[in-house]
Chain A
Amino acid sequence: MKIYNLISIAFLAVACKSIDLPTIEQSENLINQYKSSFEMAEKAIISKQYKIPVGNDLIFRTQHYALNKIFNTIANHHTEDVYIHFENSPNFFSEKKTVVGISYTNSINTDSGLIKMDIKKFNLNRIHNNTIDCDISISGTGKISISGVYTGVKARATPEIELTLDENLAFEIIPGMNDQIVLTPKPKLLNMKTKFTINLLSWKLPYSKNFAFQTKDLLKPIALPLIFTTEFNLPPISQSNKTSNSPAKTYRIRMNNSKINAQNNTIEYRADIKLDKK
């Protein structure tokens, strides 16, 4: 640091009296001095940069833990993430009975009901082979309206119902339009479990059912932005003798040769950039 102070003082001492310059010898001495300190710094830097990505104009990298910051927030933020509407379903359950030679049928309908389910967990576990494996856990409780006939008597009830979905999902990672990274849910049959007790008059019956649906019915592809803008403004050089400057030139950023490689819990997007004047 001392040397810089000395140089600063030396420059201050000769401040603009004339156009001065160091002699060749003085410059060479400075060159030697700075060269050795530069080489030392260079060596220290090279030893630490083994993972620095190179080879394209733009290389975007993110890790699974960073995406989890977002997806965990989605899971924690709302309590009403999925709405399940129970629609009119006549005779979803019935049983024939015969008592002292008289036959009758007990039957139950669902009339209506809205259960709001909460995403309890949405966690990305692993990124490998352009795929993200994740766990999702959704659950909710509420009441539905049922009606039915029991021993020939019509009745209504609003039993408590419980719904749960615990699944492992996989997303395929693909480059999207407009320079995005798209997470597309891989097809899989999901199972949502329901459980409630039919409690109609003196008829008490535990009931459970699994509903199957595809991942696409729950989640559409998610397009994550690359953070890089698609337009770019280049301000003009100021004209000191003019009161106003010409407007900035606008360029469109065009990504060429874009590709995605997702391995070892890292998503990497690479592209070359071409500036197109608008």
Chain B
Amino acid sequence: MKIPHILIPLLLLSSCTIVKKITGTDIDPVRFEKAREAKMLEIRSEFAGKMAKKIIDRTFDKSDITISISQSFINQIVKEYIGSTGQLDQNTSFVINNITPTLNYGSAIISIELEAFNSSHNVTVFLAMDCILAFATDKNEINIRFEPFNIAPVAVTKGLLSSASEIIENLIKINLADLSKKFPPITLPINFKNNFEIKETNTKISDKINLAIKVPERKINYTVSINDIFIFTDNILIALNIDEISVK
């Protein structure tokens, strides 16, 4: 699943469209929430529209194999990142306090709560980062990439508030494409090259004519290829086709 070209400038520039919502600053929390809600809905609407068009073909009904992965499994995966640390810039480290994935028709969005600490100003800022989970399909794997489209401060808990505004401004102007690189793609646990055996059998028949029957072992290799990926509100459906079958 690719992010539509039209969204790329929005994603890259969205860090400049965020409302500051910091204690002691001139931030209107309602304005922030509304802007975030609008951005979320824009993304959801765009991807749902695309899915509505392609679901008409019902490729998942015509595929050889379908694998459905639940939202709770996606939860389990991304929750493993809670407590992970990283650097936003040279002076600012972060820790992930929480991650909440939400599946919508056509899109999976995760909201990450970051706690960022700027060592030069001794300021801690809580940030909310929203990412699209982009499913990049290669021939032999499905990778989930985090594509941040929104980062916003939500609170400052300590430090000098006078320096907070400048730090926050710098943080939320971080190039979201660079931020994306901090989250390496997660490869879904699906085998695209598979095999099974027909085991050897040996039997003797004692009759008027004595026979020995042998069925030699056969190894069957086959690959699967991705037909399509559909995101629903409870699950992600991966449609696969069997191809390149060989018998040895």
Contact = CB atoms under 8 A, between A and B. Distances in A.
A160 interface: no
A73 B44 contact: no
Given A19-B172, A20-B16, A70-B245, A44 B234 contact: no
B55 A48 contact: yes
A216 B224 CA distance: 30
B77 A4 contact: no
A8 B42 contact: no
A142 to B, nearest CB: 13
Interface in A86-120: 86-89, 92-93, 110
Contacts of B242: 66, 69-70
A21 B19 contact: yes
Given A19-B172, A85-B211, A225-B191, A217 B232 contact: no
Contacts of A84: 211-213
Interface residues of B, number: 101
A36 B157 CA distance: 38
* Prevailing SS type, chain A contact patch: mixed
A134 to B, nearest CB: 14
A52 B235 contact: yes
A52 B6 contact: no
B41 A232 contact: no
A234 B77 contact: yes
Given A19-B16, A231-B189, A31 B34 contact: yes
B160 interface: no
Interface string A161-204: 00000000000000000000000000000000010000000000
Interface in B25-50: 28, 30-32, 34-35, 37-38, 41-42, 44-46, 48-49
A220 interface: yes
A148 B138 CA distance: 67
B13 interface: yes
Contact of A228 (B183, B190, B211): B190
Given A45-B105, A70-B222, A4 B55 contact: no
B65 A60 contact: yes
* Prevailing SS type, chain B contact patch: mixed
B97 to A, nearest CB: 14
A8 B9 CA distance: 6
A74 B84 CA distance: 49
Contacts of B1: none
Nearest to A44: B52
A188 to B, nearest CB: 14
8 contacts: A21-B32, A53-B68, A89-B208, A217-B213, A220-B198, A236-B84, A236-B184, A237-B96
Interface of B: 6-7, 9-10, 13-20, 28, 30-32, 34-35, 37-38, 41-42, 44-46, 48-49, 51-52, 55-56, 58, 60-61, 64-70, 72-73, 76-77, 80-81, 84-87, 89-90, 96, 105-106, 169, 172-173, 181-187, 189-191, 194-199, 201, 203, 205, 207-216, 218, 220, 222, 224, 232, 234-235, 237, 240, 242, 245-247
Given A28-B34, A59-B235, A273-B76, 17 more contacts: A14-B13, A15-B13, A16-B16, A21-B32, A41-B45, A44-B55, A44-B56, A45-B232, A54-B232, A61-B68, A69-B242, A81-B218, A213-B203, A213-B205, A223-B196, A231-B189, A237-B183
